[in-house]
Structure 1
Amino acid sequence: MQTQTSNTLHNAIMEAGGKDRLPMLAPDKEVPISEGSSVTTTETYMKTYKNVSQDIHDQLNAEAEAVQIILTGIDNDIYSTVDACSNACEM
């Protein structure tokens, strides 16, 4: 079960690609595996996601929505916050 926010986020990410670059999340595309990298594919992820309990689905969806709310609330104020701090600990 996806919320309106997660659907909107997904659509925005899919539209982020353009004529000069591919969409960030191409549904039927896999990242080429380079030598020495671990093998992870969208297909494997989706099989795993489909097999977890509803409680885990709900938790993952809630976390994704929380991240979206945080990211949309940050806006450009993040730059002034980062500029005002001399190191990461101050943030």
Structure 2
Amino acid sequence: KINLTFSEARPLDGLQLRVGGVATRVTALVYEAGEGLPRSYSAEGEESPAPRELFLDFYETRMINAIQIEILNSRDSEPAHVHLWEISFY
């Protein structure tokens, strides 16, 4: 898991993650300013010979205080191997 906390709420429309070629499931718990419970967003990518991009779209601009990202290898049981190259905010 990756936990990101911002010093001030920031406007975000979603996340873009560059992940490795193994079958992958990404889940983000997004903590919005003024809300008690996080919103959950998920994306899955099938196995691929090359790294690829997964997108988590929030469907509108949200003021975000914190994000918890979980990246799982959906092919193998725990502990499993995953690659994450980059997280981009949009």
Please tell me the TM-score bracket, short chain as reference. Answer: under 0.3
Query: What TM-score comes out, normalization by structure 2 length?
Result: 0.22
Q: Which has the higher helix share?
A: 1
Q: Look at both structures and tell me which one has the larger radius of gyration over its CA atoms.
A: 1
Considering Cα pairs closer than 8 Å and 6+ residues apart, tell me whether 1 or 2 has the greater RCO. 2
Q: Which has the higher strand share?
A: 2
Query: What TM-score comes out, normalization by structure 1 length?
Result: 0.22
